Amino acid sequence: MLKSVRNSGDARTRGRASRRARRVLALPFAALVLSGCTVPGFGASPGDTTSSQSTFHLWQGFSIGAVIVGGLTLALMLWSIVMHRQKGDAIPKQTQYNVPLEIIYTVIPILIVIGLFAATLVVENKVVANPKTDVIVNVNAFQWGWEFLYPGHNAVVYGQTTQSPVMVIPANENVHVNLTSTDVIHGFYVHAFNFSRYALPGVTNQFTFRATNTGTFFGQCTQLCGLYHSYMYFRVKVVSPADYQKWLATFNTPKGEAAAKAAAASLQQQLSTGVPTLPANTKFGR
């Protein structure tokens, strides 16, 4: 009689424990559902190119995986601490070698790592892909400024330090960039594109991106490259394809050609003297 009462008491305790464990496990999922069905960014933003958005989604996937694994681990730890704390002086039942459980907790992490690796490979291949495109920009970094040349067109943009030269590109078209440096190592970085590449002397780094939104985006050099490095800004102006063609056409006028020639001469002067040829009253800052 006494034994059966104790057994039913044990069953009740077990039932309560499993309900409590289920509640703890449901917490991370409830947090995701309560966040309004939109997947949180976990501190990142999707950016304004297809590549940056792919990278962002990869980051979201990694973060959700981390929340689930972390939540599960925390729940199991708390469950062990609370449910299996020492009650009285008796030493609890000692167990070892739970083969099925050991197989599960070895295989699942391996599957998770394979999944993360595969997802990263897919996104990386997308980011470094160079699909065919007619929009090509040769980007040349130098101490301390940027030059943007458009092969096949007369268009050339040149700017030193705080002149913030503007690289104009069309929206929703693949833009292929050939990036190099005239002197030392620079970094081509556009925050809104979530993208950075070395500009190396003697090496041409190639990449292609596709901007999804029109607007003007801030860019800067991300390699300490000398005295005016911290002012080595540029901008990327994303316009509609029609506006891009109009902009290219402005360089086909005598005025445009003169401006391009002046830009080339200015760059040559800069490169031969090694110091910016900025007016004395130039104000530094963004």
For Cu ion, give the closer residue by CB, 182 or 214. 182
CB of 205 to Cu ion, least distance (A): 14
Q: Based on CB atoms, which residue is closest to Cu ion, 149 or 221?
A: 221
Minimum Å gap between C-beta 150 and Cu ion is 22
My answer on whether omega of the bond before 144 falls inside 30° of 0, hence cis, is yes
**Closest distance between Cu ion and the C-beta of residue 176, in Å?**
22
Q: What is the DSSP letter of 162?
A: G
Give residues 225-264 in contact with Cu ion (rule: CB under 5 A).
225, 229, 232
Question: For residue 3, with 0-12 CB atoms within 10 Å meaning exposed, 13-18 middle and 19 or more buried, which class applies?
Answer: exposed
Stretch in the footprint of Cu ion (CB under 5 A) among 27-35, 82-90, 179-187, 237-245? 179-187
Q: Does 179 bind Cu ion (CB under 5 A)?
A: no
Q: Where are the beta strands (DSSP E) in the chain?
A: 135-142, 145-149, 156-160, 166-170, 174-181, 186-190, 195-199, 205-210, 215-220, 233-239
| Residues 180-219 within binding reach of Cu ion (CB under 5 A) | 186
Our CB check for Cu ion shows the closer of 155 and 221 to be 221
Nearest distance in Å: CB 78, Cu ion = 50
Burial 134-163 (b: 16+ CB within 10 A, else e): ebbbbbbbbbbbbbbbbeeebbbbbbbbbb
Residue pair 210/51 in contact by the 8 Å Cβ criterion: yes
Of 83-91, 102-110, 178-186, 274-282, the segment contacting Cu ion by CB under 5 A is: 178-186
* Token reading at 97: 């070698």
Provide the minimum distance between the beta carbon of 271 and Cu ion in the complex, in angstroms, as a whole number: 14
Which of 176, 186 has the CB closer to Cu ion?
Answer: 186
Count of residues touching Cu ion (by CB under 5 A): 5
CB of 136 to Cu ion, least distance (A): 22
CB nearer to Cu ion: give 188 or 244: 188
Which of 32, 45, 11, 30 lies closest to 190 in space, CA to CA?
A: 45
- Is 272 in a helix, a strand, or coil? helix
Transcribe 117-148 into DSSP letters.
Answer: HHHHHHHHHHHH-----SEEEEEEEETTEEEE
What is the Cα–Cα distance from 15 to 9, expressed in whole angstroms?
10
Q: Do 53 and 46 meet the contact criterion of CB atoms below 8 Å apart?
A: yes
If the CB atoms of residues 146 and 244 are measured against Cu ion, the closer one turns out to be 146
The 130-159 contact track toward Cu ion, x by CB under 5 A, reads ------------------------------
Q: Which of 149, 179, 221, 263 binds Cu ion (CB under 5 A)?
A: 221
Identify which of residues 210 and 229 has a Cβ nearer to Cu ion in the complex.
Answer: 229
Q: Measured from the CB atom, is 139 or 232 closer to Cu ion? A: 232
Least Å distance between CB 222 and Cu ion? Answer: 8
User: Which residues contribute to the site for Cu ion (CB under 5 A)?
Assistant: 186, 221, 225, 229, 232
